[in-house]
Structure formats: C-alpha cells, structure tokens
Amino acid sequence: MAAESRFLLLSDVAAELNVSDSQVYHMVRSGELPAIKIGGRGQWRVERARLEEYIERKYAETAEWVRDNPLIERELD
C-alpha cells in the first residue's frame, strides 16, 4: 500500500474538489488556498494538510452562511 503524498499537483486538488484546474490556480494565486512554488519552473504544490484545512474552513463558512440565510419556504397558493 503506497503512502499518500504530502504534496498535491493543482490538477490533483482540482480532482479532489471536483472543480477545474483553472479554478484551483485562481484559488492559489489569490491566496485563498495556501500553496508553494517549487523547482526551476515554479510549479505549484498544495500540501495535503492545507487542503484538508481549506475544506474544513469552507464547511464552517458554509454553515455560517446557512445560519445567516435561512431557507424560507414559499407559501403555496
């Protein structure tokens, strides 16, 4: 059984989150998702632990949004 890699390619992150590579690139460049640039060509890598923290943060933000924006059922005529 292979050990999980500590660092993920942006394409791996995109697959995990089920979003496009370009969306992940924007998240990294904006600072929303912490990442590092490595190597001579400056390739981006996201640490698996940072991705998990990002997901937990998004769950908390979503829960707060749901609390602040309750679903109001329309009255049926």
Domain boundaries along the sequence of the chain: 7-68
pTM for the predicted model, two decimal places: 0.83
Cα separation, 71 vs 12, whole angstroms:
34
- Residue 33's Cβ-count burial label (10 Å; 0-12, 13-18, 19+) is buried
pLDDT tens by residue, 2-49:
678 999 999 999 999 999 999 999 999 999 999 999 999 999 999 999
Match domain 7-68 to its CATH number in 1.50.10, 1.10.3470, 2.70.98, 1.10.1660. 1.10.1660
